[in-house]
Structure 1
Amino acid sequence: MGEMNKEIKKYLESLLPASSASVAMLENDAEANHVPIIDRSSMHMINLILKIKQPEKILEIGTAIGYSALRMLEGAEHADIITIEKDDTRYHEAISNIQAWQRDHQIQVIAGDAAEVMQELAESKKQFDVIFMDAAKGQYQTYFDLADKMLTSGGILITDNVLFRGMVYSAEEAPKKYKTLVRKLKAYNEMLMNHPDYHTSIIPMDDGVSISYKR
């Protein structure tokens, strides 16, 4: 990221409303324990989309400590959210945080492999107005194939980290340990942008967020 882009990012972040005490506590906890959570700027944009869409049912792939699920209720106050987390420690942390916020009547956390849980949800004919993917980036295509079965017409698919540190534009130059991941992400982005059933825009903010509208 160039110096100009860094300054723009810093400026835009300065315009965001201050986090509430409860939100700041989650952000500080995530930072202290090196738990990746969605950037505040991206979260702010997602909540704008949710305010416009006003979804009733949201599916989240990748709960972590429950930060984004809880924050999404700021944009979609009356929504019901199902969120999936594979890591047992984070699953229990998310449950604790959601209960502390008294939102366990709206947010259901399911422990397990995302693809397996999504397959079960699809077989149960679950439908969602918004699906947010923020989990194993190398599995995004698999998640998409399952999400497509559950996303309603007119629904929104949001995918985080699709630019992966800016590496996707030059997969050949990515460090060896990331080459396979970057190639998969690049293929995923190209699939989304060219899918006949979706209208997609990739927003180059933070680590890249794609917003896809299902026709």
Structure 2
Amino acid sequence: MPDTTIEALFETMRSYAAAHHVPIMEEQGIGELLELLRQQQPQRLLELGTAIGYSALRMADALPDVTIDTIERDEERHEKALGYIRESGLENRVRAICADALELDIDELTPYYDAMFIDAAKGQYERFFNKYEGLLSPGGIIYCDNMSMHGMAEQPIKEVPRRKRTMIRNIRSFRKNMDEHPGFDCELLPVGDGLLVCRKK
């Protein structure tokens, strides 16, 4: 697919996301993620949180040798993602699965992945990690978006809106646990909305 065509598709997706309040990665954040992935050159990647397929297609476009499994529980967003994946011409390398990632039987997935990108329910990152890290190859990397949650993760908890406090406590706990995890080397990058990069030892 010509670059001009895929870029036009990405612009269409950004416009749709803005108009329909679909959260997609900020440009700075996804630019940094793509640069890290180009350095890593994974062959197989698992994404939790497809939304409309924007980040999956950006990753597939930037990494011509990667195959991606991406999971989304919202049926409407999943269907929209399928349409964009078909339009992109990348459907042979991007497999979109409609399921709750916390309920999916992992036997349906590839036995191993070189990289994982977690961008789903923000308060559930610890559970996602515990369920899926066993599928990550030694030396593989987990990338986690929204670790700052628009600065709320750095605020005193009393300043965080009450309805978001449980999520923020969970994010903080996850960040702390990963920082202390004996099996991973982790770094929190201050790009986009906070990108946590964890390499499996």
TM-score, normalization by structure 2: 0.92
Q: What's 2:181 paired with? A: 195
What are the residue-to-residue correspondences of 1:32-181 with 2, within 5 Å? 32-117=19-104, 120-121=105-106, 126-169=111-154, 170-181=156-167
Q: What's 2:3 paired with? A: none
Whole-angstrom distance in 1 between the partners of 2:61 and 2:37: 9
Q: Which runs of 4+ in 1 moved over 6 A?
A: none
Q: CA deviation at 1:192?
A: 0.8
Q: Deviations over 1:141-172 (max 9, x none)?
A: 00000121111101010000011121112223
Q: CA deviation at 1:115?
A: 1.1
Q: CA deviation at 1:64?
A: 0.5
Query: What is the count of residue pairs matched by the alignment?
Result: 195
Q: Report the RMSD for the aligned CA atoms in angstroms.
A: 1.5
Whole-angstrom distance in 2 between the partners of 1:73 and 1:123: 21
Equivalent residue letter for 1:176: R
Determine if contact 1:122/1:146 at 8 Å carries over to the other structure.
no
Q: Percent identity?
A: 33
Whole-angstrom distance in 1 between the partners of 2:198 and 2:134: 15
Determine if contact 1:122/1:150 at 8 Å carries over to the other structure.
no
Query: Which segment is superposed worse, 136-145 or 69-78?
Result: 69-78
Query: Which segment is superposed worse, 26-35 or 182-191?
Result: 26-35
Say which structure, 1 or 2, has more relative contact order (CA 8 Å, 6+ apart): 2
Q: What's 1:206 paired with? A: 192
Whole-angstrom distance in 1 between the partners of 2:67 and 2:115: 11
Whole-angstrom distance in 2 between the partners of 1:74 and 1:123: 25
Query: Which segment is superposed worse, 82-91 or 170-179?
Result: 170-179
TM-score, normalization by structure 1: 0.87
Q: 1:213 to 1:86 in 2, by over 3 A?
A: same
Determine if contact 2:45/2:116 at 8 Å carries over to the other structure.
yes
Whole-angstrom distance in 1 between the partners of 2:143 and 2:53: 17
Whole-angstrom distance in 2 between the partners of 1:33 and 1:165: 20
Whole-angstrom distance in 2 between the partners of 1:122 and 1:165: 35
Structure 2, unpaired ranges of 5+: 1-5
Q: CA deviation at 1:46?
A: 1.0
Q: CA deviation at 1:209?
A: 0.9
Which structure shows the higher helix fraction? 1
Structure 1, unpaired ranges of 5+: 1-18
